[in-house]
Amino acid sequence: MAHTSPAVNLVWSILTTLLASFLVFHLWSFDRFKCLKWNNGPYSGAFKRIMTYSYIATLPLLMVYALGFTIIKYKYGYTYLPGYGVIPTPFELWSDSSKNAIIPLYLCFSIGWGLEMVTHLEELCFWLFLLNAGSVGQDWFRSLYFRTWAVGSVVAVLYMPLVTIFTRGDYLKCEAYTFLAGSIGSFALTVWFLPILWAFPAFLDSLRRESVDTNTVVRLTKFHELNCIRVFFRFLFTVPFIILGIDGVRPHQHINDNMFATDFLAMIAGVGCSVSSALTLVIFFPRSIESEIANKDRRRGTSTQDMIQTQQTATRQGGGGGGPGRSFALHSLGAGDALSPDADGEEEDDRDDLSEPYERAPSAAFRNNPTPPALVRSPFSNPAVSAGTGTVAGAGATRQGSGGAFPAARRDSGLPPYSDSALHASSPAGVAHPQQQQQPQQQPSSITWNNGKQGLEYVDEEEDAESTSKRPLPNVPAAVAKEEEASAGGARLVPNRRTTRGDVEMGRVLLTRENLAWHNAAQRNSMSGGRGGGVNRLVHGFRSPIDLMDTRYP
């Protein structure tokens, strides 16, 4: 800003520095800067890399522009000119080195503005796609909106610096045309965003009618409110520059010759630019305070489960008693728990190995049922059951059934194999469901992971996918595993897993509630003859406008 006062550039420097500080704080709180890595999870495709790095690169360019002009302006200060009074020292009185820095600083500003338009255009096209998606399975990366963003981004990145280069002969005209070119593009994107804000409440109502996950609806509602605020500040950013740009390209400048009007409009534009960019950061990288608190509790060892186990251990050491003649011993199965009557009639409560996916049955059930209920597992993750003794093998733990053995008729009855864990007692006597009494087919005698532990291992849902893919399928002979790996083109077999949320990963597909919700919506769409309609699958499990991947595969 060659003709503005030093205070304007100082305000821009302060605002951009505060924005940079907020960016560092937010990204550190978000995921400790992991989002800036080249490969960071399943969403780290070319699209997210472009959006992330283009947005991050905007801020340093704006800081260089603001700090550079601040240093130059305060170096020369103010000058008294007859007929004009005290004014900021005109650039004509600067040294050659300071004059030579004007065009590079304007290039930094124009390139940064072009990258910011890339961000704004992507948001505009994405929200329009989400609102107007004609079918459940329509893909963002194969839509007209994505192509529009790709072409528009190339145009924005090219035409902004070209305008600055072609008008570099006159510094004042260069500044005016740069302001005008950038503000017209950003103003058009902001105006086109207004229909999205108008239609979004009805879109949220349709999501509620479609029984979309509540967390997703809450996140989209939050984004809608942030977009409303951001659009307001983007108008504050673009309108002042439009006024200054139009006045600057005219033969007679009325606004640019007024120091108060020029400084006021430039400062308002700086506030609008900084606040809108900060809100964009919050939308692109949305923090989850609940998850952050849970992760802190997990790291510090102060989770609810740890406190419960501590209380139970203190009670056991203090000699807490149970009902006379009816006590049960708790043994770990590696990832689950089983109950068995204590042989000597004394209560034995070994609860240190409780696993998160299962909950302790109420104590009333133990008092009313002389035989504990049966705990079953899926065929891929269930320890072996001995047909002669009813013993569950795994990590050295045993469970005695109510009859002492599983009848062969039950075992070979041909009932369909169960696929998930169940805890069922159909009567006060503790008679288990017939399906629970059958012996699972092809049960392994034990399960051993790479680390040598026996029994099952429950992994966190955020565990690195690469380390998970290196695990061999439990109890698969080496020759069979090698043959399967060769037939799969080198892909390793991945066992089913149980995450902390109770989701099962089959192969490498995570059957989360979001994916299941999309699957149900797709089935409804196919049953209606494929006529379209419904909620697009991107809505289910929506994270942010840049956390997108090829949606042909859940």
- The reported pTM is 0.61
Per-residue confidence (pLDDT) for residue 323, from 0 to 100: 45
- Domain enclosing residue 90, as ranges: 6-289
Mean pLDDT across the stretch 309-333? 54
Domain membership of residue 359 (yes or no) is no
Query: HEC profile for 209-223?
Result: HCCCCHHHHHHHHHH
Candidates 84, 86, 85; CA nearest to 76 is 86
Report if residue 192 sits inside a domain: yes
Compute CA distances 44 → 32, 288, 509, whole Å: 16, 19, 17
401, amino acid identity: G
Q: How far is CA 149 from CA 22, 118, 420, in A?
A: 28, 8, 44
Does 386 reside within a domain? no
CATH of the domain at 68: 1.20.1070
Distances (CA, A) of 365 to 307, 357, 368, 424: 23, 19, 5, 11
CA distances from 432 to 378, 439, 553 (A): 16, 13, 39
Number of structural domains in the chain: 1
Task: Give CA–CA dist 376/98, Å, rounded.
Answer: 78
Residue 53 forms part of a structural domain: yes
Q: Which of 14-28, 151-165, 271-285, 348-362 has the lowest mean pLDDT?
A: 348-362
Q: Which range is most confident: 104-113, 208-217, 429-438, 526-535?
A: 104-113
- CA R_g for the chain: 33
For residue 427, being part of any structural domain is answered with no
516 part of a folded domain = no
Whether pLDDT at 27 is above 60: yes
List alpha helices for 210-342, DSSP H: 214-249, 259-284, 289-300, 304-317
Question: How does 9-22 read in b/e, with b if 16+ C-beta sit within 10 Å?
Answer: bbbbbebbeebeeb
Q: Tens of pLDDT along 140-153?
A: 888 899 999 999 99
Give the max Cα distance, the chain.
111
Position 501 in a domain: no
Confidence band (pLDDT; 50, 70, 90) for 295? confident
**Which amino acid would we find at residue 70?**
T
